[in-house]
Amino acid sequence: MKKAIQIKDQIYWVGVQDFNLRHFHGSLYPIEEGTTYNAYLIVDEQVTLIDTVEEEFTPVLLERIRSVIGDRPVDNIIVQHAEPDHSGGFEKVMQAYPNAVPYASNAGVQIMMKQYFHDYHYQKVKTGDTLSTGVNTLTFVEMPLIHWPDNMLTYVDQAKILFSNDAFGQHIAGYELFDEAYALNFCLDKAKEYYANIVMPYGMQVANKLKALKDMNLDIDMIAPAHGIIWKQYINAIWNAYEGFASFRSEAKAVIVYDSVWHHTQMMAEALAEGLGQNGVKVKVYKYSETMSCIIMKELLDAKAIFVGSGCYNNTMSSEIAGFLDRLISCKVKGKVGLGFGSWGWFNQVPGRINDKLKEAGITLLQEGAAITQNYTPSESDLSVIEAKAAEMAETIKSL
């Protein structure tokens, strides 16, 4: 029997471990070892469920709920986010508990209606609205576009728990529910990866909401997100990290992303890395078509510079690099510099087009916008020139 796990007096985790998941949000975010869909149960004078799970895992959710309350009904269901990994089990839970009252933000109600085509008599809530379940009082806080328009979080005053939905999430799957079971650096790295791949475009909204939550002077013992571990020991660390993520806090680091068939663009990438790395800039180099994109996005989050390279394929850049640049545009990065580079045979336009895409992504071009180009195979002399240019750019990067 799948049993609930108590996390505090009257509060239980009733979620699911999805150990087999390898692609989160389709191909957007490849992951290594699965995730959790966290749902939480408050057993008070009224029984309240916070979030559900992916539809296929609903029987496990219901089994965990019944392990605590038996035949007692669920009175309230808090829909913090309508995305199917959180709301997919909602209709089956409503079938099991037809008298439950669902609560959601205004945008949440609209999206739930468009996804599930049935009015469950939702109660619309906004920031500052409360729900008393007996001993506990739930306070709702809207957080639109972190990362959908409907997202909200719920603070439970008696338990001092912030149920944060997607905010502060990570992909750590296991039965050790609390951060204290893991090293701090591991937890922060997983949170950084999640933020970079899911939340990065919404830094302004995150920064504003962090400030608003601070101004509410909430007494927080735990932050319980919808994916991954519950923050308990490392709350200050993850909060400070999120402030850095939201502001694109960066270090003297360059991320070099390229694709190359005949190694010519690869040789250029490695020459750039040599010139940067030998002159005080931390360097990460990735062949895009052979690298999990989530790693690149994570490293880009706190880098000051990005270099993007491609050879010429039928008068255009590689499809993988084109897709990466389009994704970069969608991320709304701030305060970064960069440059395009690449080899060519008879059409010397691709590196310039990469520069155009970098500018569209909000990235300031280095070296007065002049892409680094190479006709066919670079000689040792050509590579030395690239290294020298990279050394010059290293000084600019360090000065930012």
Position 74 scores a pLDDT of 98
Q: Give the pLDDT score at 321.
A: 96
Judge whether residue 101 has pLDDT over 90: yes
Choose the catalytic residue: 86, 171, 227, 264: 227
Average pLDDT score over residue span 94-99: 98
Pairing of strands 123-125, 303-310: unpaired
- Catalytic member of 147, 171, 259, 288: 147
pLDDT in tens, 13-65: 999 999 998 888 877 788 888 999 999 999 999 999 999 999 999 999 999 99
Q: Phi and psi for 234 in degrees, rounded to 5? A: -105, 30
Task: Show Cβ contacts of residue 148 under 8 Å, excluding neighbours closer than 6 positions.
Answer: 81, 82, 83, 107, 111
Catalytic residue among 44, 81, 302, 387: 81
Single out the catalytic residue among 44, 85, 142, 382. 85
Residue 147 appears among annotated catalytic residues: yes
Is 121 marked active-site? no
Q: Is there a catalytic annotation at residue 194?
A: yes
Answer yes or no: is pLDDT of 369 > 80: no
Residue 398: DSSP 8-state = H
Q: Is 264 part of the annotated catalytic residue set?
A: no
pLDDT at 368: 77
109-150 residue pLDDT tens? 999 999 999 999 999 999 999 999 999 999 999 999 998 999
Residue 354 is encoded by which pair of tokens?
């990469």
Note the pLDDT of residue 32. 86
* Per-residue model confidence as pLDDT tens digits over 191-216: 999 999 999 999 999 999 999 999 99
Report all structural domains of the chain as residue ranges with CATH numbers, in order of start.
5-246 (3.60.15.10), 255-399 (3.40.50.360)
DSSP assignment of 273-326, as one string? HHHHHTTT-EEEEEEGGGS-HHHHHHHHHTEEEEEEEE--BTTB--HHHHHHHH
pLDDT at residue 1 in the model = 85
Active-site residue 227, yes or no?
yes
Quick one: average pLDDT of 220-241? 98
Which token pair is 225? 């997100």
Determine the Cα–Cα distance for residues 89 and 62; give it in Å rounded to an integer. 10
